[in-house]
Amino acid sequence: MEIEKIHCLIIGSGPAGYTAAIYAARANMKPVLYQGIQPGGQLTITTEVENYPGYPDGIQGPEMMVHFEKQAARMGADIRFGLATKVDFSAPPFKVWIDEEKLVEADSIIIATGASAKWLGLESEQRLNGFGVSACAVCDGFFFRGKEVAIVGAGDTAAEEALYLSKLCTTVHMFIRRGEMRASKVMQERVQRTPNIKVYWNTNTDEILGESKVEAVRVKNTKTGELQTIPISGFFVAIGHQPNSDIFKGWLDMDEAGYLKTVPGTSKTNIEGVFASGDVQDKIYRQAVTAAGSGCMAALDAERYLSAKGLV
């Protein structure tokens, strides 16, 4: 098996990974970045991004990620297609297997593998994704201002996103699969106090309706079996995210949901020389701009680590 020795390996290609690559390349760390299964990350499945500073007219998510990649490449980052499939962080240099056919030995690692939104698994949800179906109210809610929307989920994210949407939309129909919400009490109360959020208990989504864009949703009451069709323009899924951290199990500290733990205010994990940034370590903010910021932190932390060891 081919073995390659490098100073800095970045795993992941969303805003966190590319920003880390820009900073690491400019610090002469000669970073190698492996893009993973979805080059560009979650932004490549969104449409218009209007809240990333520096784009006064907004930009399409996929196009923005091409800009990130080009900027990292221009700084000298070595960007490659490939998936990290296994790691051994027992001692530096850290070992990472790529596509099970190549071994990279790196003095430092920046993890930016992101998270994936969970979906209901309906065919219509996939087909209309980006055409009224979204997993991010903060990203896409603005496009539905003055319209009726629906949201599914009952955790803190769903509650927060329902409240966010209630400020933009005429009515927010909120579908909750059980007879109670998982969200914190204070969030539940806020939801229930908001007059234009209509909560449907014991309700599952049966189908999202519309040919080329979302036009309505059909829901089913699980107690009575009653079906109901509600006209809407946007359908938001807020049933949780899955951090992409499986390959780090057993090496890095993570919470019960799999989010990597970092020392607050830094990107440091429990292993010196291994840093984490972006959504894989952030279950609260999950924005492109916060991910980019934390990618910058990881590169600066890695640079300090490498220079203290006299490696760069």
Residues taking part in catalysis: 136, 139-140
Least distance (Å) between residue 266 CB and ligand NDP: 21
Query: Nearest residue by C-beta to ligand NDP?
Result: 155
CA dihedral 26, 31, 37, 38 (to 10 degrees): 0
Q: Give the integer Cα–Cα distance in Å for 139 and 141.
A: 6
Q: Give the integer Cα–Cα distance in Å for 291 and 282.
A: 8
Q: CB under 6 A: which stretch of 22-30, 40-48, 94-102, 235-243 binds ligand NDP?
A: 235-243
Least distance (Å) between residue 116 CB and ligand NDP: 12
Least distance (Å) between residue 257 CB and ligand NDP: 6
Nearest CB to ligand NDP, comparing residues 13 and 281? 281
Least distance (Å) between residue 264 CB and ligand NDP: 15
Q: CB under 6 A: which stretch of 33-41, 71-79, 223-231, 238-246 binds ligand NDP?
A: 238-246
Sheet strands (E) in the chain: 2-11, 32-34, 48-49, 59-60, 78-80, 84-88, 94-98, 102-111, 115-117, 133-134, 148-152, 171-175, 197-200, 203-209, 216-221, 227-231, 234-237, 241-243, 274-276
Q: Establish if 152 lies at the interface with ligand NDP (CB under 6 A).
A: yes
Q: Which of 283, 287, 290, 293 binds ligand NDP (CB under 6 A)?
A: 283
Q: Establish if 36 lies at the interface with ligand NDP (CB under 6 A).
A: no
Q: How far is CA 238 from the centre of its chain?
A: 12
Rg of the chain taking only CA atoms, in angstroms: 21
DSSP conformation class of 309: T
Q: Which amino acid is at 138?
A: V
Q: Establish if 30 lies at the interface with ligand NDP (CB under 6 A).
A: no
Q: Establish if 120 lies at the interface with ligand NDP (CB under 6 A).
A: yes
Beta bridge partners of 108: 8
Q: Establish if 182 lies at the interface with ligand NDP (CB under 6 A).
A: yes
Tokens of 160: 């927060």
Q: Establish if 130 lies at the interface with ligand NDP (CB under 6 A).
A: no
- Which residues of this protein are in contact with ligand NDP, per CB under 6 A? 120, 152-158, 160, 177-178, 182, 239-241, 283-284
